[in-house]
Amino acid sequence: MRQFESTRDQPHRPRSRIMTKLRHFGHQTISPTPGRMLALSAVLAFAAAGCGVLPKKEAASPPPTSAAASGQGTRPALAETRSTMTENLKVEVVGLNRVKGKHLIAQIRLSNTGTEKHLPWPGEMGDHTRPLGEIKWASGIGVLDAQARTWLLPYKPAGSPCLCSDRDRDGLGRFIDPGQSITVYAVLPAPSGNPATTTIVTPVAPPMLNVPINDEAPTGDFPDPDTEPVTPVTRRLILPSESLDKSEETADDGKNLQVNLSSDVLFAVGKATLTPKARSVLTRTAKLIDASPATVVTVAGHADSSGNDAINNPLSLRRAQAVQHALSALLSRNGIRFQTEGYGSRRPLYSNDTDEGKRRNRRVTVTFPKPQPTTPAPTATTPPAATGLTGTTKADGQPIAMEITGLRRLPGDLGLLTYKITNQGSTETWFRDLHRTQDWEAYKYQAATNVRLTDIATRRQYLPGRLKVPTDNDADFYCACTDVSGVRISTEKFAPGQTREFWNLFALPDTTDTLNVKIGPFRDLNVPIQ
């Protein structure tokens, strides 16, 4: 695959040096065999003319694809964070360049700040939302495109999991020696809207906010995704919330709003006639539709696994039709068409193995384009950490402390919650309360999901965001938060005095500047939005 490289001094380079850089992005280097000489000569002539390749900034140290990438330890950091799972692993962004206006090259320096242990890096930096085979890639480096509600990951070329650093091919090895650094890279889509800054995400630590994007050529040589077919790897970010009275829950994916209305609130058992309480629930939904650009609204009735299709299918359809007629009367604008369907028990949202799962599956779902914001989106900032927001509990008899370090508003109505957990005891202990969530919630792996934000004034609760990954059958969901299982299974184990920082993404309402935060067993805290 062609590399992003300089054209300024190409006429003065030895021919053999240019050939060595025309590599296929996979496991083998393209060698100049006789059958390839003509094609390579054409490319060289094209490059010498200054066309078809992108410039690079000349590097004072070897490029990140070389075994000497650790020599880039002196480059200034644009942003930094610390690994939640591995003590003494520092993560820094040392390069972030937009190329051709549509690609992004991220360079991440991983440093072992300890003095004794060798630190593994490939398993931690790998993307856990897609099959990788052998874990040896820096495929988990990504960008949070908040405005588009997507998680952008490195491109996937044919025959390779990732357009990113490979520990073997790039000579990086499995471990980082004490006091040493390596620099890894990823080539991925640029975030939408041509922003000046973005949020960098990795699997190992809290996101890094407001990282400046440079539109100049990057330092080093990198694969060009335009020279062969590559597949963009994106994850849709879904942000759920629900009313405290359990009458409805909402899933916002940045494009559409899916409102799940509880059939237990709307209807009597086995009936399709709306209850008196249904009007207040449907009034809120009608206001959301009025505020949206919707011309078509889908209304679908659903049942749990009780009963049979002969009962569930017609009942779910009649209930959807009843909701559609009520919404039509409540809307304040014309020109909206409805599509109505009854699915019975064929499309459960949750497991029917529990009473709560069944209750949530008995629903009428109203789906329409997301309402447009009425106020300009707040500008993301990096304020000082919150102070005095602490709590304590115990795990295996050991005192455990929690401190909230920030609740920050990001573009696209997103919020980032960060908090620290510390073992203040004298012996090693496991603190497993962060993933003890309600039994109806389903994620691919255990994560720090036992966290809730509540807007007391509107009586609305916000749940951790989900990353949706399509599968052959349906989809898997991963928490947009700190992982505590898989290769990160030791995340909840704390040595005496050890502190780990965790994070969660949420939707944030634009009608308040303070939310009630509940983290696991710790006390509720009123936390200002920064």
CA distances from 528 to 27, 275, 309, 404 (A): 50, 38, 49, 11
Domain membership of residue 376 (yes or no) is no
Contacts of 12 (CB under 8 A, 6+ apart): none
What pLDDT score does 132 carry?
59
| Shared-domain flag, residues 211 and 114 | yes
Average pLDDT over residues 217-241: 92
| Shared-domain flag, residues 99 and 193 | yes
Range of the domain at 470: 390-528
Q: DSSP for 38-79? A: HHHHHHHHHHHTT-SS---BPPSS--TTSGGGGGGGGSPPSE
Least confident of 37-46, 47-56, 168-177, 493-502: 37-46
Please state, in angstroms and rounded to a whole number, the distance separating the CA atoms of residues 170 and 221.
12
| Shared-domain flag, residues 474 and 339 | no
- CATH number for the domain including 214? 2.60.40
Average pLDDT over residues 425-449: 81
Contact 183, 96 (CB under 8 A): no
Domain membership of residue 177 (yes or no) is yes
| Shared-domain flag, residues 207 and 247 | no
- Strand-pair partners of 234: 152
Average pLDDT over residues 344-369: 92
Whether 29 has a pLDDT exceeding 70, the answer reads: no
- pTM (whole model) above 0.85: no
What pLDDT score does 34 carry?
36
Q: Which residue has the tokens 């000082």?
A: 384
Most confident of 122-136, 381-395, 468-482: 468-482
Residue at a domain's end among 369, 401, 429: 369
- CATH number for the domain including 337? 3.30.1330.60
CA distances from 454 to 415, 423, 464, 530 (A): 13, 27, 12, 16
269 half-sphere exposure, CB direction, 13 A CA radius: 3
Q: Per-residue b/e over 170-183, b at no fewer than 16 CB within 10 Å?
A: bebbebbeeeebbb
The pLDDT-based confidence of 477 (bands split at 50, 70, 90) is confident
Q: What is the CA radius of gyration of the chain?
A: 26
What pLDDT score does 474 carry?
75
Least confident of 64-78, 95-109, 142-156: 64-78
Whether 21 has a pLDDT exceeding 90, the answer reads: no
| Shared-domain flag, residues 359 and 398 | no
Please state, in angstroms and rounded to a whole number, the distance separating the CA atoms of residues 144 and 466.
13
Say which residue, 210 or 30, is predicted with more confidence.
210
Average model confidence (pLDDT) for the chain?
83
Domain membership of residue 272 (yes or no) is yes
Domain membership of residue 60 (yes or no) is no
| Shared-domain flag, residues 265 and 147 | no
Least confident of 55-64, 183-192, 335-344, 477-486: 55-64
CA distances from 105 to 222, 238, 398 (A): 8, 26, 44
Helices (H), 331-440: 355-361
Tokens, residue 64? 């990140």
CA distances from 167 to 123, 152, 195, 382, 384 (A): 10, 22, 31, 33, 36
| Shared-domain flag, residues 154 and 24 | no
203 half-sphere exposure, CB direction, 13 A CA radius: 25
Nearest residue to 189 via CA among 228, 141, 221: 141
Element at 18 (helix H, strand E)? helix 15-20
Average pLDDT over residues 22-31: 32
Domain membership of residue 54 (yes or no) is no
What pLDDT score does 435 carry?
83
The pLDDT-based confidence of 349 (bands split at 50, 70, 90) is confident
What pLDDT score does 39 carry?
32
What pLDDT score does 179 carry?
95
Domain membership of residue 132 (yes or no) is yes
Residue at a domain's end among 336, 369, 402: 369
pLDDT tens column, 35-78: 333 233 333 333 333 333 444 665 444 444 333 343 456 889 99
Contact 107, 64 (CB under 8 A): yes
What pLDDT score does 351 carry?
84
Least confident of 13-17, 149-153, 172-176, 416-420: 13-17
| Shared-domain flag, residues 74 and 222 | yes
Whether 25 has a pLDDT exceeding 50, the answer reads: no
* Number of independent structural domains in the chain: 4
| Shared-domain flag, residues 82 and 220 | yes
pLDDT tens column, 298-330: 999 999 999 899 999 999 999 999 999 999 999
| Shared-domain flag, residues 196 and 303 | no
The helix/strand/coil state of 43 is: helix
| Shared-domain flag, residues 208 and 255 | no
The pLDDT-based confidence of 442 (bands split at 50, 70, 90) is low
Domain membership of residue 328 (yes or no) is yes
Domain membership of residue 384 (yes or no) is no
| Shared-domain flag, residues 428 and 510 | yes
Average pLDDT over residues 26-41: 33
Q: How many residues does the chain have?
A: 530
Q: How many CB atoms sit inside 10 A of residue 369's CB?
A: 15
Q: Give the amino acid at 43.
A: V
Residue at a domain's end among 228, 261, 281: 228
Nearest residue to 410 via CA among 82, 100, 191: 191
The pLDDT-based confidence of 219 (bands split at 50, 70, 90) is confident
The pLDDT-based confidence of 365 (bands split at 50, 70, 90) is very high
